[in-house]
């Protein structure tokens, strides 16, 4: 489990296509504190550390992961948000994030609003019902509050700090991002389904 508070922004340093796809990431984390098998949220996708060294770690992504996320578009130099998994007693600064990407959204607008940037995202029709005004959503692993919703589009404000320490500061209109809907919304919707 994660909180959606990104604690490092690294980059893809190598991609190897074998049976699965192996990604190596450059990171500022002290990788000597990682265990092989640890979970790390990589731009919204919970992945397992399979190898590591000073300043880098590797994960293996299945074809399913590549198809359901933006990971299939990653190449050497692609910036990636990282968050280590929560431990009991950690501060819960964002919201409960599982690292299970629900879909890929597209950025349809970025406009200045004061010192912030207003991003508008368009989500797939299958998940639009789970996005609610003043609710939470994770975009590329970042916990964000939804400002408004209009059909399959919703807006969020990104403060300068978030732009600086996450990949959102490098995004442009037309880019695709990983989306995880709020876990509570998913379960409420399931409970309200007719039998």
Q: Same domain for 116 and 36?
A: no
Between CA 30 and CA 27 the distance in angstroms is 8
Q: Does residue 3 lie within any of the structural domains?
A: no
Eight-class DSSP state of 34: P
> Domain holding 20: CATH number?
2.40.30.20
CA distances (Å), origin 47, targets 82, 117, 169: 10, 29, 23
Q: Return the pLDDT at 188.
A: 73
Q: Same domain for 124 and 169?
A: yes
Q: Same domain for 127 and 185?
A: yes
Q: Does residue 76 lie within any of the structural domains?
A: yes
pLDDT digits (tens, 9 = 90+) for 39-83: 999 999 999 999 999 999 999 999 999 999 999 999 999 999 999
Q: Quick one: how far is CA 193 from the chain centroid?
A: 28
Q: Does residue 51 lie within any of the structural domains?
A: yes
Q: Does residue 52 lie within any of the structural domains?
A: yes
Query: Domain span at residue 136?
Result: 103-192
Q: Same domain for 54 and 115?
A: no
Q: With CA atoms as reference, report the closest residue to 59 among 44, 73, 46, 49.
A: 49
Q: Does residue 75 lie within any of the structural domains?
A: yes
Q: Where are the alpha helices (DSSP H) in 10-159?
A: 63-68
pLDDT digits (tens, 9 = 90+) for 8-39: 999 999 999 988 999 999 999 999 999 999 99
Q: Return the pLDDT at 190.
A: 67
Q: Return the pLDDT at 35.
A: 95
Q: Return the pLDDT at 88.
A: 78
Domain tally, the chain: 2
Q: Same domain for 65 and 118?
A: no
Q: Tokens for 117, please give them.
A: 């940037």
């Amino acid at each position: 489990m994660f909180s959606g508070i990104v604690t490092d922004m690294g980059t893809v340093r190598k991609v190897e296509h074998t049976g699965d796809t192996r990604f190596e990431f450059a990171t500022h984390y002290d990788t000597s504190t990682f265990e092989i098998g640890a979970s790390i949220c990589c731009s919204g996708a919970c992945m397992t550390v399979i190898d590591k060294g000073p300043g880098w770690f590797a994960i293996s992504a299945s074809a399913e992961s590549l198809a359901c996320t933006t990971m299939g578009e990653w190449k050497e130099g692609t910036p990636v948000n990282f968050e280590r998994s929560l431990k009991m007693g950690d501060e819960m600064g964002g919201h409960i994030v599982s690292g299970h990407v629900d879909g890929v959204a597209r950025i349809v607008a970025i406009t200045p609003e004061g010192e912030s940037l207003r991003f508008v995202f368009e989500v797939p029709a299958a998940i639009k019902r789970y996005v609610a005004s003043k609710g939470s959503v994770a975009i590329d692993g970042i916990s964000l509050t939804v400002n408004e919703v209009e059909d399959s589009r919703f807006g969020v404000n990104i403060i300068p700090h978030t732009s600086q320490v996450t990949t959102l500061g490098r995004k442009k209109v037309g880019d695709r991002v990983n989306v995880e809907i709020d876990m509570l919304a998913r379960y409420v919707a399931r409970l309200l389904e007719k039998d």
